[in-house]
Chains A and B, each alone.
Chain A
Amino acid sequence: MSELLNILSEVPDPEIPVINIVELGIVREAIDRGNHTCEVTITPTYSACPAMFVIEGDIKKKLKKEGWEAKVITQMAPVWTTDWMTDEARRKLREYGITPPEKGSNENIGLPKKCPRCGSENTRQISRFGSTLCKAFYQCYDCQEPFEYFKCH
């Protein structure tokens, strides 16, 4: 499993390429089925996330390149939550300019989100709905820059 997971951690999220699908918590498990074949089970994130179709293709492509014939299974239960995102993934998001989600899938909407550029908590939500299903749109009052927040889910 860990050899497969290592390979899969080189598959980036198509929309946010600095993080990979393993640290996002999208890969549930990867099992060696012998004879260079394997089964990878993934979880959908948002019901309509278009990136999931790309991710499924990318998994097959990447594994094929490394000599594996992969079958990708989508399993919905237990339901994916941003809590499955690693701390490393959160750090990378912040560095990339996206404020990572708080812990806990029931978002505390009142809690201020820190600006990923200047670190200020003097920010406001412009819209709960951003450029993708997973992100909300914020602005920092201090450095004036807009930024996106990866929502708790």
Chain B
Amino acid sequence: MKNYLLKLADDSFFMGHRLSEWCGKGPYLEEDIATVNIALDQLGQANNFYNYAVKLLDNGKSADDLAFLRYEHEYVNAHLVELPNEDYAHTILKMYAFSVYQKLLYTALSNSADEELAVIAQKSLKEVRYHNIHASSWMRIFAGGTEESKSRLAAAIENYWEYTKGLFAKVEGEEDLIAVDAVPNPDELYEEFIKITEKDFQDFGLIYPKDQWMQKNSRTGYHTEYFGYILCETQYLQRAYPGCTW
């Protein structure tokens, strides 16, 4: 369960971090606020999962220790959340794929045999529904917009869609959790994901990247070339000033 919680926490933590990079730099005020709101929701979810992991670990580590002081190979997030924001089309594509995944995941987890996990999932589901609506609206707008918005979104899909299957990778110990109905089987979630995104793409007027080759090795402790730079930002303060507090 601890690894599984870290999987959920790390995904949300780095997604929240990447989205927060738009803070003060958004395309216009209301969208800037929307994106950082979504980022903050993600950090809140990460906090809940890290705190539950802390309870189970019971080894003196805090949520902050888990979030900020592990090494590359100890983080089990998917590669998708590490990808750079690039332009807004790339960011929205990440947000869209991730929100479809989270909606499926949290819906299933809301019925988990593990009560504490179920409650966090119920709470998080309320929030990610709106992330999904938001991202989907932009997908539709870009897909049905100008030549520029269409080509930027097409580039985003071409560059990033191959990372979407990585969201459904399992971590150590997950099979046992699946066997006792504590967590859903990500392979089944992936089948749903394909159905939903295929229908959405049709709805948006986009060509679905069917049978797309997918990147491997998400959640194995091997990360993209971007990850080191992210850790430099998130970990600098804690490592330069060990034991720092507000």
Contact = CB atoms under 8 A, between A and B. Distances in A.
A77 B34 contact: no
Interface stretch (B70-78, B118-126, B153-161, B226-234): B118-126
A128 B127 contact: no
B133 interface: yes
Classify chain A: how many residues form its interface, as a range.
20 to 34
B33 interface: yes
B37 interface: yes
B126 A133 contact: no
A68 interface: no
A80 B120 CA distance: 11
B95 to A, nearest CB: 13
Interface in A42-96: 44, 46-49, 76-80
B126 A77 contact: no
Name A's interface SS: loop
B44 A49 contact: yes
Contacts of B126: 79, 105, 153
Nearest to A126: B30
A137 B38 CA distance: 15
Nearest to B125: A79
A46 B34 contact: no
B35 to A, nearest CB: 8
A127 B43 CA distance: 21
A12 interface: no
Contact of B48 (A47, A78, A126, A130): A47
Contacts of A137: 30, 33
Given A47-B41, A47-B124, A79-B119, 10 more contacts: A46-B44, A47-B123, A48-B40, A76-B48, A79-B122, A79-B123, A127-B34, A128-B134, A129-B37, A137-B30
Contacts of B40: 48, 133
A73 B11 CA distance: 27
Lowest 10 CB-CB distances: which A-B pairs, in order? A48-B44, A47-B44, A129-B34, A129-B37, A127-B30, A77-B119, A48-B40, A76-B119, A79-B122, A79-B123
Contacts of B44: 46-49
A137 B25 CA distance: 20
Contacts of B236: none
A144 interface: no
Given A77-B119, A127-B33, A47 B127 contact: yes
B119 A133 contact: no
B115 interface: yes
B228 to A, nearest CB: 26
B37 A133 contact: yes
A66 B127 CA distance: 37
B48 to A, nearest CB: 6
15 contacts: A44-B123, A46-B127, A47-B45, A47-B123, A47-B127, A48-B41, A48-B42, A49-B44, A79-B119, A80-B123, A127-B31, A129-B30, A129-B34, A131-B33, A133-B41
A47 B123 CA distance: 7
Contacts of B31: 127
B96 to A, nearest CB: 15
B47 interface: yes
Given A47-B123, A137-B30, A77 B38 contact: no
A129 B33 contact: yes
B69 to A, nearest CB: 21
